[in-house]
Structure 1
Amino acid sequence: MRLAHVTDLHLGAEEPAVVAGLRADLIAQAPHRLLVSGDLTMRARDDQFRAAVDLLASVGKPWTCVPGNHDLPLDRPARAFDPLGAYRQFVDPEPEPIIRDGGLLLLGLSSPRPYLWKGGRIDAAQVARIGSDLAGAADLKVLMLHHPVFRSEQRPGEALVHGADDTLRAAAAAGVDVILCGHDHVAAQAGLRGMIGLMSGTACSWRVRTDESQSWTMLDLDGDDLRLTVRHWVDGAFRPARTTQWRRTADGRWHA
């Protein structure tokens, strides 16, 4: 199973050359599915959503996404009363998808909130869904949300999503293998209570962090071995920057 984790496209603040390079690299690497953890747009405008959907569709593979905080409108009345209206119209009427695809079982959760625009929240009802929707056996169980549930080495002072601890506890109990996040615009991995936490950088915008370029991450599952390859934008193309090998032991826990 090969999956691509892509996040923080920020269409509306994109670098056109990087957009073209991202499309070409995703086509060349041929993942089975793209997993997109939010911030498709910069300002939640209709044309930005259309551009993001066109880009993802052009890869020619199934894709699944959740909203990010930038996918909520800046207009305060719209944000307060219909925060995901444009997202539902242009991207997916279901902002919290459940995917069963071969050996993949994925639950996406919507973490942006109008009143917690930057930090986000996972509430009690969403935590309960982790246990119910991710029950049962799968080759790989994935939980995806936009806001981070762990801190990266690059940005250790960044806040976690509200409800992070409850989310991790429920995910571990449900046997989640990988938690995908975005938001911080850095490529990072961490062991989380036997699970793997994975963030990727902004995929194609100019909003990069110090010492980070645009990036996405490839996940290659072979039985109980999972290879994570970060692909950074360097010298006009996406190229492999580093690879980490994780192994799942008999108790279901992952170790690098």
Structure 2
Amino acid sequence: MRLAHITDLHFGAEEPDVVRGLRDDLGGINADRVLVGGDLTMRARDEQFAAARELLDEIGRPWTSVPGNHDLPLDRPARAYGSLDAYRAFIDREPEPAVRENGLLLLGLSSPRPYLWKGGRVDGEQRARIAGEFASAAELKVLMLHHPVLRSPQRPRETLVRGAEAAITAAARAGVDVILCGHDHVAAQARIGGGMIGVMSGTACSWRVRAGESQSYTVLDLDGDRLRITVRHWHDGGFREARTAEWHRTSDGWHP
């Protein structure tokens, strides 16, 4: 099983050359599914959503998306009323999708809130859905949201999503293997919740890079109880392998 995690595309602040490189690279790695972690746009404008949707359709692979905080309108009244209307119209009418196919069990959560625009939240209803959706068995159980549930070494002072600890507890109890997130524009991974893998991916194609990193995305390759996690970053006119980590699943979870 091969999954690609891209996030923080930020159309409206995109680098055209990197967009083309991302499209070509994703089209060439033959991922079973591309997982899109939010902030597809910079200002939630129709033309920005349309450009993001065009890229996703051009990849030629199945994809699943969740919204990020930049996918809510910047204008406060518009954000409060019908805040995900454009996202639903251009990307997916379901902002919290579930996918069950070929050994993969994926749940996406919508973490942005009109009243917590930057930091986001995972609430009790969403924690209950984690428990319900992941009740059945699967080769790989993946939870995806935009806001981070882990801090990166590059940006250790960044705020976690509101409700992060409770969400991690719910995911661990449900047997989740991997939690995917973005928002901080850097690539990182860590063992969290006593046995899960937390994966944060960088900005995929915008100029809004952070901590000296270039644009990047993450590839996850599952082979039985081995998971290879590769960061591919933009370098010298193309996406190239930057670093790889091997994780192994045992009776007490995943270990690097």
Please give the range of the TM-score, normalised by the shorter of the 2 chains: over 0.9
Look up the match of 1:229.
230
Using the alignment, how far apart are the partners of 1:76 and 1:166 within structure 2?
28
- What's the TM-score, normalizing by structure 2? 0.99
The ranges of structure 1 where at least 4 consecutive aligned residues each deviate by more than 4 angstroms after the TM superposition are none
Do the aligned residues in 1 keep the contact of 2:225 with 2:248 (CA within 8 Å)? yes
Q: Over residues 197-223 of structure 1, what are the superposed CA-to-partner deviations in whole Å (9 max), with x where a residue is unaligned?
A: 001100000000131000000000000
The amino acid across from 1:79 in the alignment is R
Counterparts of 1:222 and 1:174 in 2: how far apart (Å)?
21
Q: Which residue of 2 aligns with 1:156?
A: 156
- Once the two structures are superposed, residues 85-138 of structure 1 have per-residue CA deviations (whole angstroms, 9 ceiling, x without a partner) of 111111111000000011000000000001100000001100111000111100
How much does 1:78 deviate?
Answer: 1.1
The alignment status of 1:200 with 2:201, answered yes or no, reads yes
**1:90 paired residue number:** 90
Cα RMSD of the aligned pairs, angstroms, is 0.6
Counterpart residue identity of residue 237, structure 2:
G
Residue 177 (str. 1) matches residue 177 (str. 2)? yes
- The residue number in structure 1 matching 2:115 is 115
Structure 2 counterpart of 1:167, one-letter code: A
Q: Distance between the aligned counterparts of 2:220 and 2:162, measured in 1?
A: 27
| Aligned residue number for residue 24 of structure 2 | 24
For 2:81 and 2:28, locate their aligned partners in 1 and report how far apart those are by CA, in whole Å. 41
CA distance in 1, matches of 2:7, 2:200: 8
Contact 2:155 2:211 in 1 (8 A): no
> Distance in 2 between the 1:246 and 1:24 partners?
27
Query: In 1, distance between residues paired with 2:89 and 2:238?
Result: 33
8 Å CA contact 2:7, 2:36 repeated in 1: yes
Whole-angstrom distance in 1 between the partners of 2:106 and 2:61: 16
1:68-99 CA distance string (max 9 Å, x none): 00000012111011111111111111000000
Aligned residues: 255
SS in 2 for 1:105: strand
Query: Any unmatched runs of 5+ in structure 2?
Result: none
**2:50: which partner in 1?**
50
Q: Which amino acid aligns with 1:60?
A: G
Shift of 1:157: 0.2
Q: TM-score with structure 1 length normalisation?
A: 0.99
Partner of 2:77: 77
Q: Could you tell me whether the CA contact under 8 Å between 2:189 and 2:199 is conserved in 1? A: yes
Q: CA deviation at 1:250?
A: 2.7
| Secondary structure of 1:53 counterpart | helix
In the alignment, what sits opposite 1:61?
A: 61
Work out the CA distance in 1 between the residues paired with 2:57 and 2:42.
19
SS in 1 for 2:175: coil
DSSP 3-state at the match of 1:106: strand
Q: Does structure 1 conserve the Cα–Cα contact (< 8 Å) formed by 2:66 and 2:146?
A: yes
Deviates more, 1:140-149 or 1:71-80: 71-80
CA shift at 1:28, angstroms? 1.1
- What CA distance in whole angstroms lies between the structure 1 residues aligned with 2:211 and 2:99? 35
**Structure 1: tracts of 5 or more residues without a match:** none
Supply the distance in 1 between the matched residues of 2:204 and 2:150 (Cα, whole angstroms): 20
Asked if the contact 2:130/2:171 (under 8 Å) is kept, the reply is yes
Counterpart Cα distance in 1 of 2:251 and 2:177: 13
Find out whether 1:244 has 2:245 as its counterpart: yes
Letter in 1 for 2:239: F
**2: CA distance between counterparts of 1:232 and 1:49?**
24
SS at match of 1:132: helix
Cα deviation code 1:174-210 (max 9, x no counterpart)? 0000000000000000100200000110000000013
